[in-house]
Each structure stands twice: as C-alpha cells, then as structure tokens.
C-alpha cells in the first residue's frame, strides 16, 4: 500500500494559542491510498491539526509538506491551487445554506473548471451525488436535509474536484449509530472508487477500527501512539489504553 | 480592578477595535481592485440590498412625507407662509431627512442581515469551507456586500426622497388645493445643485459604513450562535451611530463650501 513519498508529511509541528500549547512537536506521514485515523480527546488539537494542513490556521514552527509543497511557504495563489487537491469534510458539513445542493456542488466546480459546458457540469454534479446515493436531492436546500444527508452532500462537494487527499473532521459525530455506520461505509467506498488518501480525525473508536489502515493517538500535543488498531488496542500504556476501554 | 484601570482598559479596547475596523476597510480596498472580480455575486447583492429594501424604504419615505407635511403645515399657516410648504419640505427631505432616515432604515435592515448572515456562515464553518475550496471568502462575501451597500444606498435615498415628496404632495393637494405640477415646480425652483449633490454624495459614505460594519462584525463573529446575535445587534448600533457621525461631518464640510 505504501509509497515511499508521503502525501502529507509533518515534522515537529508546534501550534499555540496564547499560553495554550495545542501541538507540541507533532509528527505524522500520510501515504497514497492510506486511511490514517487520528484519535484524541476533545480539545486535544485534532481539528487544529487539520486546519494547519490546509492553512486555515498558521503553524508556529515545524515542517508541514502537502503533496511535496511546504504549506507555510506557499503564496496565496499557489495555496488555492493546492487546496483543490485536498478535500475537507467539516464536522458540521458546512454546506452553504443560501444555496441548493446543486449550487453547493457547482460552487467549487465553477471556480476551478471555468470552461466546463453546462451539460458536462451537470454530469459531474450528478455523478458526485450518485456516488453518495443522493442524486434525488439536487434541488433541495440544505435545511431540508437530515444530518446524515448533509454529511453525504458535503462529501460529494468535496469529491467533485477529485482531490488526492480528503481530510475528515469527526465524520460520524452527532449522528445516530446507523447513519454513522453508513457514513463509514461511504468513506471506504469513496476511497476505493476514487483512490484517495484519507486523514480522519475522530474520537469514535468504532469508526477508527473499521476505517483505519493506521492510527495515531494524539496526547498532549504529540503523536503519542502510532500503529495499526490491533497493535494499539493491546498496548499496556495507560494513556493509550484509555482510548480502548 | 480599580475603576481607573477599567477605564483605561475600555479605551484600549476601543482603540484596538477601531484599528481592526480600519485594517478591515483597507483590506476591502486592496481586495476590491484585485482581480478576479465577483460581478455575479455583486449583482445578486445589489438585488438583495437594493431591490429587496425598496418597499420598506419607500413606505418609510411616504409616511415621512405625509407626517412632515401634516406637522409643519399649521405652523407655516400661522406665519402666513403656506406657499413655502413645498420648497421647505423639498429642501428638508432632500438635504437631510431623506438620506438620514433611509440610512437608518438600511442600517437596521441591511446591517443586521449582513452581520447575521456572515456571522452564521462563520460559526458553521461555511467561510472556512469556501476558503479551502480555493475561493477568497473576503472577496466573495465582504467586497461584494460592501460595494452593493455603497452603490444601492444613493439609489434607495433618491427613491425615498421622491416618494416622500409625493406623500407631502398628497397632503398639500388635499388641504391646500395644490396641483402636482405646481408642487413639483415649487420644489424644483427652490432646490439647487448645492442641495442635491452633497446629500447624494454622503449616502455613498452611509452605505459604505453600513456594509463595512455589518461585514466586519459578521466576518469576525465568535462564540457560537450567541455571537451571531451579538454581531447583528452591534452592527446595527454602530452603523446607526456612524450614520449620524458621518452626517455631521458631511454637514460641516458642506457648510464650509456654502461660506466660500
């Protein structure tokens, strides 16, 4: 599975907000077609890490390379181009609530594929929605969708630019167990269909077990544990064991 | 904390906030001139801010004209100056009441709606989603809204002035037997270039201030849904206050030109 060149490489990453040190020398690598799950307690800096990767938040120090490019050193235009290769599924879906589902999917498409003809555009939108099983929601507003459906549409919006990496911020949080299971299956299906690498932030251990090829346990701002689920599950370290109880 | 320290902290917070708003305004000018331009979104915002406010502004203008005429009429009659009514009302509406009332209505309607909309987008991470999709959210959301408010407020003011004068004409026609042609002639004869131009120019600044404050408060909204409400509320209060401050400045500047 692993290629030698990581798609995302983070070394000695530090990020603080005032006196609060969130990341204290965090390290990780994400490889092609890999599902890497990062688990950590609430407030441990998982979401901040994802935001650092797409430079929604600036890092204090360390190395952060995505697709071979140093994120802190990129100019805005270069960053915007790179961001089309990195999809981001937000915890609350973040669908644009003044737009229909179709317009939500059109939005990134029109900004990055301006020469697309309307029929080609419609075809791509329909394909993306079909891949998440929601082709019938094309003209609905986000407020008319359930939590699980919103998550699926957000995933379709992420997929429409065919990114190489997808970052998932708590993809199953706030969902009932059945819908959460459907989302997990969808993530696996998407990974097989599109061949993307996924970085998934969660504290749902069921999700981590099913989805991960590899896991990182984030404790005290560092990559405290790193390995496959089965290895970590039998660890004697109390800080790691706490996640598997 | 002693009251002296609290007082100093309040002033420090005030200057800090003023600095941030100024930086936000400079960023607006920087982003506004830099391509790509969001014409489609600008047109949409002009429709939302301009067309969708027209009824409210028009109704307010109409009532303003009616009330102003009804209130002034008895005093003018007492001084035997009934024939000056159209001119007096024309000057008052065009120079002062029309622009200020329209701006205050818009501060309430547009300022709160922009503050709440952007605030809600901020706390639900829609602005972040826009940014990670490679779109500049400042240019798409902020520049278009401030520009639309700046461009639409003069148009709304002209509409409110016209409708207000029509309201006043209805009273004049009912109580004073004045024809429409006579009324309009009296208004036009008394209004000069110096009455109309400064009053229109100042409405661009009113629109800019309303858009700027609404966008600043919404775009920087924090603390969840409570923050959204606070952003909308503070946007209205500050924008309304700014309208009066800008009006005072505009009147002082116009006065200097009159004296020259």
Nearest CA among A188, A233, A220 for reference residue A26: A220
Cβ–Cβ gap B132/A54 under 8 Å:
yes
The minimum CA-CA distance between A242 and chain B, rounded to whole Å, is: 30
A83 contacts in chain B (CB < 8 Å)? 131-134
Neighbours of A185 (CB within 10 A): 12
Which pLDDT score is estimated for A120?
85
- Picking from A83, A90, A94, the nearest residue to B134 by CB comes out as A83
Considering all CA atoms of chain B, what is the largest pairwise distance in Å, rounded to the nearest integer? 69
- For chain B, the 3-state helix, strand and coil shares in percent, each to the nearest 5, are 90, 0, 10
The answer to whether A69 and A7 have CB atoms below 8 angstroms apart is: no
Domains and CATH numbers, chain A: 8-97+166-244 (3.40.50.300)
Nearest CA among A82, A64, A80 for reference residue A8: A64
- Picking from A86, A94, A108, the nearest residue to B128 by CB comes out as A94
Cβ–Cβ gap A88/B132 under 8 Å:
yes
Q: Across residues B11-29, what is the average pLDDT? A: 92
Nearest CA among A156, A121, A110, A47 for reference residue B135: A110
Confidence of residue B1 (pLDDT cuts 50, 70, 90): low
Please tell me whether the interface predicted TM-score (ipTM) of this complex is above 0.90. no
Which residue of chain A is at minimal alpha-carbon distance from B120? A97
Which pLDDT score is estimated for A113?
65
Whether the pLDDT of residue A161 is over 90: the answer is: no
Query: Which two tokens mark A53?
Result: 């990767």
Q: Across residues A201-221, what is the average pLDDT? A: 90
- Picking from B121, B125, B132, the nearest residue to A83 by CB comes out as B132
Q: Across residues A204-227, what is the average pLDDT? A: 90
Confidence of residue B82 (pLDDT cuts 50, 70, 90): confident
Confidence of residue A192 (pLDDT cuts 50, 70, 90): confident
Whether the pLDDT of residue A1 is over 50: the answer is: no
Which pLDDT score is estimated for B222?
79
Condensed to tens digits (0 to 9), the pLDDT of residues B131-143 reads: 998 888 999 999 9
Strands A165-169, A197-202: pairing is parallel
What is the percent of chain A with per-residue pLDDT over 70, rounded to a whole number? 98
Condensed to tens digits (0 to 9), the pLDDT of residues A58-99 reads: 999 999 999 999 999 999 889 988 998 999 999 888 999 999
Which pLDDT score is estimated for A114?
60
What is the percent of chain B with per-residue pLDDT over 70, rounded to a whole number? 99
Domain ranges for chain B, please list them.
Answer: 40-259
Condensed to tens digits (0 to 9), the pLDDT of residues B235-247 reads: 999 999 999 999 9
Q: Across residues B29-52, what is the average pLDDT? A: 93
Whether the pLDDT of residue B104 is over 50: the answer is: yes
Q: Chain A interface, mutation test: which of B36, B39, B128, B129, most A Cβ atoms within 10 Å?
A: B129
B37 contacts in chain A (CB < 8 Å)? none
Neighbours of B200 (CB within 10 A): 18
Q: Across residues B94-118, what is the average pLDDT? A: 94
Whether the pLDDT of residue A203 is over 90: the answer is: no
- Picking from B124, B129, B135, the nearest residue to A111 by CB comes out as B135
Whether the pLDDT of residue A195 is over 90: the answer is: no
Average pLDDT over chain A, rounded to an integer:
89
């Amino acid at each position: 599975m692993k290629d030698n060149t990581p798609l995302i490489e983070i070394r000695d990453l530090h990020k603080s907000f005032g006196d609060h040190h969130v990341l204290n020398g965090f390290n990780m690598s994400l490889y092609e077609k890999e599902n890497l799950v990062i688990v950590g307690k609430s407030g441990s800096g998982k979401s901040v890490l994802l935001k650092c990767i797409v430079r929604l938040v600036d890092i204090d120090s360390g190395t952060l390379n995505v697709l071979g490019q140093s994120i802190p050193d990129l100019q805005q235009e270069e960053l915007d181009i790179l961001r089309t290769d990195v999809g981001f599924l937000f915890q609350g879906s973040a669908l644009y609530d003044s737009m229909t589902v179709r317009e939500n999917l059109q939005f990134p498409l029109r900004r990055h594929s301006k020469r697309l003809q309307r029929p080609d555009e419609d075809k791509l939108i329909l394909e993306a929605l079909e891949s998440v099983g929601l082709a019938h929601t094309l003209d609905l507003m986000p407020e008319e969708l359930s939590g699980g459906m919103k998550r699926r549409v957000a995933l379709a919006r992420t997929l429409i630019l065919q990114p190489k990496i997808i970052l998932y911020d708590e993809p199953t949080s706030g969902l009932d167990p059945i819908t959460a299971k459907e989302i997990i299956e969808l993530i696996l299906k998407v990974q097989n269909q599109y061949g993307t690498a996924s970085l998934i932030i969660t504290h749902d251990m069921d999700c981590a077990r099913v989805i991960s090829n590899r896991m990182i346990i984030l404790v005290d701002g560092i990559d405290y544990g790193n390995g496959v689920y089965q290895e970590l599950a039998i660890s004697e370290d109390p800080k790691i064991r706490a996640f598997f109880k | 904390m002693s009251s002296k320290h609290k007082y100093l902290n309040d002033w420090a917070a005030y200057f800090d906030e003023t600095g941030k708003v100024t930086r936000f305004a400079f960023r607006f000018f920087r982003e506004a001139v830099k391509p790509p331009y969001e014409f489609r979104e600008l047109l949409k915002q002009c429709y939302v801010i301009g067309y969708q406010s027209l009824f409210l502004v028009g109704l307010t203008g109409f009532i303003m004209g009616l009330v102003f005429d009804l209130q002034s009429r008895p005093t003018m009659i007492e001084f035997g100056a009934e024939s000056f009514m159209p001119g007096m009302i024309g000057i008052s509406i065009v120079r002062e009441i029309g622009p200020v009332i329209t701006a205050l209505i818009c501060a309430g309607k547009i300022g709160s709606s922009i503050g709440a909309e952007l605030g809600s987008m901020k706390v639900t991470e829609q602005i972040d989603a826009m940014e990670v999709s490679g779109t500049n959210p400042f240019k798409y959301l902020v520049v278009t809204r401030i520009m639309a408010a700046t461009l639409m407020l003069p148009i709304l003011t002209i509409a409110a002035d016209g409708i207000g004068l029509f309201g006043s004409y209805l009273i004049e026609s009912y109580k004073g037997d004045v024809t429409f042609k006579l009324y309009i002639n009296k208004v036009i004869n008394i209004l000069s270039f110096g009455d109309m131009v400064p009053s229109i120019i100042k409405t661009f600044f009113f629109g800019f201030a309303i858009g700027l404050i609404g966008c600043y408060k919404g775009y920087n909204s924090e603390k969840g849904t409570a923050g959204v409400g606070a952003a909308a509320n503070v946007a209205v209060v500050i924008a309304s206050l700014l309208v009066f401050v800008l009006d005072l400045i505009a009147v002082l500047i116009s006065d200097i030109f009159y004296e020259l």
